Structure 1
Amino acid sequence: MASGDDQYHPKDAVKAAISGTMITGAAGGLVSAIQNTLTKRNVNAWGVFTKTGGTIAVFAAVGGTYEFTRFASANLRERDDSLNTAIGGFLAGSVLGLRFGSTPAVLGFGALTAVVLGAYDYTGGALSGFKKNNEIDEFERKQELRMNRRRPIEQTISELGEGRGIYGPGYEERRRERIKEKYGIEVPAKS
């Protein structure tokens, strides 16, 4: 166990499970209401709970299982990393697979959810890509990147040659001499 800021602080798994159950249960209620609305037969308003209420239960169970398992495994392992998310994802996916009633579905949904959630957490938990440090000014960051990647002009000229906006020192004199030798035209020097 490391000292200082690296020390693990236990988290309340039960509180997280209740919160996760409530949030995903509410989302399940919304999905159940949509399912109830789209049924062919006219079902009363209580059909959200009676006819398609299993959706609410599955959503709530998945959310509660995920949150509880994630924090409980973090507390047991005393580490907060992507493996906790993968373990929670496996059990949550297994709960989702229970609806199909077969072992391959339980294991398959669990493995798929574990891989997706574990990889998402491992890569930083953002779909938008790498997040920049907001404390650094954007102009200064780009200037630093330009200076970091800058090559000497001699190396650039040796690799690409002169022209196309890349001119080394003494280019104008060399150009005047080439034109005079090839065409016999005297090019005046710029002031």
Structure 2
Amino acid sequence: MTATKDCISEAGKTAAIAGGMGLFVSTMQNTIQKHKEGARGVITRTGGTIAFFAAMGGIFTLGECAAKDIRGEDDAINAAIGGCAAGMLAGIKSHSFAKMGAGCAAVGTTMYAYEATGQLKGSFTDKTREEKKQHEKEFFKQKQTTE
């Protein structure tokens, strides 16, 4: 039961963060639209963006966490499953099975690639400070010219 509570709390945290990003996007949308709502338009006119971002973030985290619990492994496939679940939300919003499949494939593949490549940390993640400095010295070494 603890894993389920952890999944739900993590999904809630991610939904809150993604909702904050949705608020930012909604604010930008409200800024470029012409209407007489003023700042209230962030909620009344483009507020669906906030909910959509929050739902995408929450569903992704819940799907990833549930896949981890069910499969018993912590790997990139869990991110693909969570991404697929979140991507399907775009199709559900537009009432299209084709968009659900495309969203699942696109977001699932993107999240799988992100996780499988080490979350874009690069090759210096496991190196010590001295190893990084040595690489820097070798990389920026001046070539000796004989003239």
Category of TM-score, reference length = shorter chain: 0.7 to 0.9
Deviations 1:47-101 (A, max 9, x none): 1111111101110100000011111110111110001000000000111232222
In structure 2, the residue matched to 1:105 is 99
Are 2:129 and 1:129 aligned?
no
2-side partners of 1:67 and 1:99: how far apart?
A: 19
In structure 1, the residue matched to 2:87 is 93
Question: Partner of 1:46: helix, strand, or coil?
Answer: helix
- C-alpha displacement of 1:139: 7.7
Are 2:69 and 1:75 aligned?
yes
1-side partners of 2:125 and 2:12: how far apart?
A: 33
Deviations 1:125-151 (A, max 9, x none): 11x632243336228966xxxxxxxxx
Look up the equivalent residue of 1:112 and give its one-letter code.
A
Distance change (3 Å), C-alpha of 1:115 and 1:45: same
* C-alpha contact 1:35 1:52 (8 A) present in aligned 2: yes
2-side partners of 1:141 and 1:46: how far apart?
A: 55
* C-alpha contact 1:36 1:43 (8 A) present in aligned 2: no
Look up the equivalent residue of 2:42 and give its one-letter code.
V
Distance change (3 Å), C-alpha of 1:48 and 1:138: same
Name which of 38, 48, 52 aligns with 1:44.
Answer: 38
* C-alpha contact 1:21 1:64 (8 A) present in aligned 2: yes
Query: In proportion to residue count, which structure has more helix?
Result: 2
1-side partners of 2:25 and 2:127: how far apart?
A: 37
Give me the TM-score of the superposition, normalised by structure 2: 0.82
Give me the TM-score of the superposition, normalised by structure 1: 0.64
Q: Percent identity?
A: 35
Question: Partner of 1:90: helix, strand, or coil?
Answer: helix
Gaps in structure 1 of 5+ consecutive residues? 1-9, 143-164, 166-191
Distance change (3 Å), C-alpha of 1:33 and 1:136: closer
Larger radius of gyration: 1
Say how many residue pairs are matched.
135
Look up the equivalent residue of 2:12 and give its one-letter code.
I
Look up the equivalent residue of 2:26 and give its one-letter code.
S
Answer 1 or 2: higher relative contact order, Cα 8 Å, separation at least 6: 2
* C-alpha contact 2:124 2:132 (8 A) present in aligned 1: no
2-side partners of 1:131 and 1:140: how far apart?
A: 11
* C-alpha contact 1:93 1:109 (8 A) present in aligned 2: yes
